Amino acid sequence: MKKSLLLSLGLLAAIAGPLPAESPEGFVDLFNGENLDGWHGRPHFSPIKFAELSDEERATKVAEWTKDASEHWTVENGELVNDGHGAYLVTDKDYRDYELHLQYKTVPIADSGIYLKGNPQVQIWDVNNEAQFKHGNQKGSGGLWNNSPGAPGKDPLVKADKPLGEWNDVRILQVGARTSVWLNDQLVVDHAIMENYWNRETPLFVSGPIELQTHGGEIRWRNLKIRELSTEDANKVLADKNADQFQSIFNGNDLEGWIGATNGYEVVDGAVRCKKGSGGNLLTEKEYANFVVRLEFKLPAGGNNGLAIRSPLKGNPAYDAMCELQVLDSTHPKYANLDERQYHGSAYGMAAATRGFLRPVGQWNFQEVTVNGSKIKVELNGTVILDTDLSQVSEYMADSAHPGKDRPSGHFGFAGHGDAVEFRSLSIQEL
């Protein structure tokens, strides 16, 4: 993904009844109940195209849109009211991983939505409007309506709307591209990938604003509150999903169950760390064929390591294993001119991962890798950055052969290159 696409494009207790006026612990108000401070106007406009404008052009657009919004958005009795027309209302601030609470109330025939990271949308319907049945409104609100037909999250799991004229409670948990939505205490979207409406060939943006859509009828909003998730909280959301289906492969104390370059690694504070200036291939005793592996990793500045996938005991995993998945500080200047197939998450020398989704150096990243037949998928911090079939690869970096590419099974592990990269919370689900 081009760098420009990533710029400013950017716990969990169930709620019973109306949201309280006072913010729960850790939450802040997005709407102060008095005016539109902290918000500006924007219509249905691509953040990609917006990022491509000059600073002056962006300022002019925002001024025009905000003026239009001010004619259609008002505040009444602590409620944010839109008449069904005009530019949408957009937060001045961008958000990455967060929990969002709000309430809305709408009228017949109107439909609306909540853009997340500037992307449409968590859908809000009049579920009784027969004119919209062809679009699925009778299934209920809360779904990721702009996902592809049949994709998870497109349609809500249950119909949970309250009658028109009553307040609906919404809770949204957003980690990377993973979206969960509760409508009136009922789960309607379960950890689904939100597709990038603006460019379906690339993942959802790293960050972006919250945007309230207006479409054809009055809608009222209140109790808009957000809690930005810490790295620890965001990783926990990802790790907790289907955690009972995974088996730990690292005890947190020593390298029992691991073979190979055991002298090149050490266990520090519950993590496996490659010794600085050392490394080599640290592999599981057990071999795996098809599996899903989950782990957290932390990179030092300029750090370089790799995940050995279906590796033999000897040889270079980049070529002799199915592949080596890069673990790399892709942001470091010394790596500015690498082949695209060498950056983090890539199947080294064969398939390039989408860049830009690493957390800042020194923070723990959460990664899930799915290996099934010849296919491999890498999900980093809740966003799929690689999804490829290695059997279809015919062009290799530097024309170097990869004889291990078609291995049906092998060891899992790390291919250290002398940097103090750390790994923890290692678990595998065999498929």
- 273 and 191 in a common domain: no
Last residue of a domain, one of 229, 248, 272: 229
CA within 13 Å, CB half, 338: 22
If asked whether residues 295 and 165 sit together in one domain, one would say no
Please tell me whether residues 244 and 225 are part of one structural domain.
no
The answer to whether 245 and 429 are in contact (CB under 8 A) is: yes
Residues 91 and 212 in one domain: yes
Q: Looking at the structure, do residues 128 and 255 belong to the same domain, yes or no?
A: no
Confidence check: pLDDT of 13 > 80: no
Model confidence over 56-103: pLDDT tens digits? Answer: 999 999 999 999 999 999 999 999 999 999 999 999 999 999 999 999
pLDDT of residue 269: 97
User: Model confidence at 23, in pLDDT bands (50, 70, 90)?
Assistant: low
Dihedral sign from CA coordinates of 387, 392, 397, 403: positive
Looking at residue 348, which CATH number applies to its domain?
2.60.120.560
- Which of these three, 211, 229, 247, is where a domain ends? 229
Let me know whether 252 and 170 are in one domain. Answer: no
Q: Mean pLDDT of all residues in the chain?
A: 94
| pLDDT > 70: percent of the chain | 94
Total domains present in the chain: 2
Same domain, 138 and 52: yes
Over residues 121-146, mean pLDDT: 93
Residues 282 and 420 in one domain: yes
* Enclosing domain of residue 111: 3-229
The residue out of 229, 253, 282 marking a domain boundary is 229
User: Are 176 and 242 within one domain?
Assistant: no
Are residues 272 and 199 part of one domain? no
Same domain, yes or no: 296 and 188: no
Spatial separation of the C-alpha atoms in residues 136 and 125, rounded to whole Å: 9
What is the model's pLDDT at position 1? 38
Task: Quick: pLDDT tens for 263-277.
Answer: 999 999 999 999 999
**What is the rounded average pLDDT of the residues 247-272?**
97
Instruction: Kindly state whether residues 63 and 112 are assigned to the same domain.
Output: yes
